[in-house]
C-alpha cells in the first residue's frame, strides 16, 4: 500500500510539473495576428517578413507594434524577429497572411507550407495580396479600425458571405492548388492615406501570381465561378427614346451548372448555365416596370450585357491560361484518367470553346416604377 501511495505521489508530481512547464504569462507574450511577406532589396536576404501584434502602452491604451526582418527564408526571418523583442512571439492567434505582388509572382507555396507546418496556426488563416508591398497593409494607420489584422479578417469574411464557396484561407488555397482543373485566386488590397480598400482579385497559375483583375471584373469572376446566394449588380439599360437608365438589382442564383463535352482534345467545349432572380433596388428610367413588356425588355437587355461581360472575362482568362473558374474540373470528369494526365490543361483551356447561357428574371420591382 505504501508503495502504491509513493507511486501515485510521484505520478501526480510529474503531471503537475509538466503542466506547469507550459504555463505562459500573457504579459510576456506577443500574440501575432498578421504577417506580411515581401521581396527585399537585399540579395543575401531576399525575403522581408513583417509581423504585427497588439500591445498595451504605458498609459494603458490599446495599440499595436510591427516588427520587420530580411532573411533567406520565412523561417529564418522568424528567428531574427525573435531577437528584436523581449516578448515571446506566439503564432496561435495569427488571423491573416499577406503577400506582396512581386513576391507572389515568384510563388507563395513555400511560405504557405511554412505556416501550415506550425501546429499552433492551422489552415483557417485568411490569405490576401498587397498591391506592391504587403507590409504597407500592416503599417498604415487605419482610422477607427483598431488592429489592421482584424479589419482585413472582417473584410475577407464579408466577401465569403457573398458566396459560401469562395473562401480565402490556407485550406482552400491548398485545395485549389493541388486539385486538378482549377487555379487559385486571392483578393488584392491597396492602401490610401488612411484606409485599406479591396482592389480586385489576383489570378494564379499553380502558386504563381499571373495577373490582377479589377474590382469590377472580380464581380463577374465570382458570378461565373460558384453559385452566389446573394449578390448585387448595376447596369445601364435602354430607356424611352435614345436615353439610357441605370438599374440596380440584388439577386440570387437559383441555378449554376457547367456542362462539359469531350470526344477528343480538338473537340473540348463547355457551357456555363446560370439562372438568376433579381429584386430591383434602384431604377432611374421613366418606363413602367409593372408593365410585363417592359420587364421582358429589361430582362433581355440584362441577359445580353451579362453574357457579353462574361465572354470578355473568359477570353481574358484564356489569354492568360489561368482556369480561375474551374472549368477543368468538369472536363476532367468527362475523360479517362490517362487522357486527362496526357492533356496540357492550361494550353487546352486557352483554345477551347466556353459559352455562357444566362437567364434573368425580375422577381420584385418594388412599389413604384
Q: Tell me, yes or no, whether 4 lies in a domain.
A: no
Both 233 and 363 in one domain: the answer is yes
Q: Which of 213, 233, 265 is the last residue of a domain?
A: 213
Say if residue 8's pLDDT is above 80: no
Beta-bridge mates of residue 29: 88
In this structure, the answer to whether residues 145 and 226 fall within a common structural domain is no
pLDDT in tens, 18-41: 554 455 565 678 789 999 999 999
Name the residue range of residue 158's domain.
25-213
Same domain, 237 and 363: yes
**What mean pLDDT comes out for the span 251-272?**
90
Query: Which of 154, 185, 213 delimits the end of a domain?
Result: 213
What does the pLDDT read at residue 369? Answer: 46
Same domain as 71, residue 208: yes
Using one digit for the tens of pLDDT, what is the confidence trace for 130-141? 988 999 999 887
Residues 57 and 177 both lie in one domain: yes
Most confident range (mean pLDDT) of 58-62, 99-103, 238-242, 285-289 is 99-103
Quote the pTM value: 0.86
Residues 199 and 282 in one domain: no
Strand-pair partners of 185: 203
Give the count of domains, the chain.
2
With bands split at pLDDT 50, 70 and 90, how would you rate the model's confidence at 159? low
C-alpha cell read off for 233 = 449588380
Share of the chain above pLDDT 90, in %: 55
pLDDT band at 146 (very low <50, low <70, confident <90, very high): low
Is 209 within the bounds of a domain?
A: yes
pLDDT value of residue 156: 79
Task: Output Rg (C-alpha) for the chain, integer angstroms.
Answer: 26
Averaged confidence pLDDT in the chain: 86
Tell how strand 34-39 and strand 29-31 pair up. Answer: unpaired
User: What is the H or E stretch that residue 47 is in?
Assistant: strand 47-56
Same domain, 230 and 313: yes
pLDDT tens profile 293-350: 999 999 999 999 999 999 999 999 999 999 999 999 999 999 999 999 999 999 999 9
Asked if residue 167 and residue 44 are part of one domain, the reply reads yes
Collect all residues with Cβ–Cβ distance below 8 Å to 174 and sequence separation of at least 6. Answer: 112, 116, 123
Would you say how long the chain is, in residues? 369
275 and 317 inside one domain? yes
The three cell numbers of residue 261 are 463535352
Q: Which of 168, 193, 213 is the last residue of a domain?
A: 213
Q: Are 218 and 304 found together in one domain?
A: yes
Partners of 189 in the beta sheet? Answer: 130, 198
Q: Is the predicted pLDDT of residue 202 greater than 90, yes or no?
A: yes
Asked, for residue 120, whether it belongs to a domain, the answer is yes
Distance between CA atoms of residues 340 and 353, nearest Å:
18
Exposed, middle or buried: residue 103 (CB in 10 Å: 0-12, 13-18, 19+)? buried
- The whole-number pLDDT of residue 182 equals 96
Q: Is 109 exposed, middle or buried (0-12, 13-18, 19+ CB in 10 A)?
A: middle
Name the residue with cell 430591383: 280
CATH number of the domain to which 258 belongs: 3.30.300.210
**Rounded to a whole number, what is the largest CA-CA distance in the chain?**
103
Q: How far apart are CA 349 and CA 353, in angstroms?
A: 8
What are the helix (H) ranges across 128-214? 135-139, 148-162, 170-178
Task: Kindly state the cell numbers that stand for 335.
Answer: 475523360
Q: Are residues 37 and 109 in the same domain?
A: yes
Query: Are 223 and 116 found together in one domain?
Result: no
Amino acid at each position: 500500500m505504501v508503495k502504491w501511495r509513493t507511486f501515485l505521489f510521484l505520478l501526480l508530481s510529474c503531471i503537475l510539473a509538466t503542466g506547469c512547464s507550459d504555463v505562459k504569462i500573457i504579459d510576456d507574450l506577443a500574440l501575432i495576428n498578421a504577417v506580411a511577406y515581401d521581396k527585399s532589396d537585399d540579395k543575401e536576404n531576399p525575403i522581408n517578413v513583417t509581423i504585427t501584434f497588439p500591445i498595451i502602452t504605458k498609459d494603458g491604451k490599446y495599440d499595436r507594434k510591427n516588427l520587420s526582418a530580411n532573411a533567406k527564408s520565412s523561417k529564418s526571418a522568424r528567428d531574427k524577429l525573435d531577437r528584436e523583442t523581449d516578448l515571446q512571439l506566439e503564432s496561435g492567434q495569427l488571423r491573416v497572411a499577406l503577400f506582396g505582388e512581386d513576391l507572389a509572382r515568384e510563388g507563395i507555396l513555400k511560405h504557405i507550407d511554412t505556416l501550415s507546418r506550425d501546429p499552433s496556426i492551422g489552415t483557417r488563416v485568411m490569405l490576401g495580396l498587397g498591391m506592391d508591398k504587403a507590409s504597407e497593409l500592416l503599417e498604415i494607420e487605419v482610422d477607427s479600425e483598431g488592429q489592421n489584422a482584424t479589419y482585413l479578417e472582417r473584410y475577407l469574411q464579408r466577401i465569403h458571405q457573398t458566396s459560401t464557396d469562395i473562401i480565402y484561407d490556407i485550406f482552400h488555397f491548398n485545395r485549389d492548388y493541388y486539385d486538378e482543373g482549377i487555379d487559385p485566386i486571392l483578393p488584392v488590397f491597396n492602401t490610401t492615406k488612411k484606409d485599406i480598400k479591396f482592389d480586385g482579385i489576383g489570378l494564379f497559375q499553380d502558386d504563381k501570381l499571373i495577373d490582377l483583375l479589377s474590382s469590377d471584373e472580380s464581380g463577374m469572376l465570382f458570378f461565373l465561378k460558384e453559385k452566389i446566394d446573394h449578390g448585387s449588380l448595376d447596369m445601364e439599360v435602354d430607356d424611352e427614346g435614345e436615353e439610357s437608365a441605370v438599374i440596380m438589382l440584388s439577386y440570387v442564383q437559383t441555378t449554376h451548372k457547367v456542362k462539359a463535352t469531350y470526344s477528343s482534345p480538338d473537340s473540348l467545349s463547355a457551357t456555363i448555365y446560370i439562372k438568376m432572380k433579381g429584386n430591383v433596388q434602384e431604377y432611374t428610367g421613366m418606363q413602367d416596370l409593372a408593365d410585363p413588356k417592359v420587364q421582358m425588355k429589361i430582362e433581355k437587355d440584362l441577359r445580353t450585357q451579362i453574357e457579353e461581360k462574361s465572354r470578355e472575362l473568359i477570353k481574358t482568362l484564356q489569354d492568360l491560361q489561368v482556369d480561375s473558374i474551374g472549368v477543368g474540373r468538369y472536363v476532367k470528369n468527362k475523360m479517362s484518367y490517362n487522357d486527362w494526365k496526357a492533356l496540357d490543361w492550361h494550353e487546352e483551356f486557352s483554345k477551347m470553346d466556353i459559352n455562357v447561357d444566362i437567364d434573368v428574371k425580375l422577381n420584385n420591382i418594388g412599389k413604384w416604377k
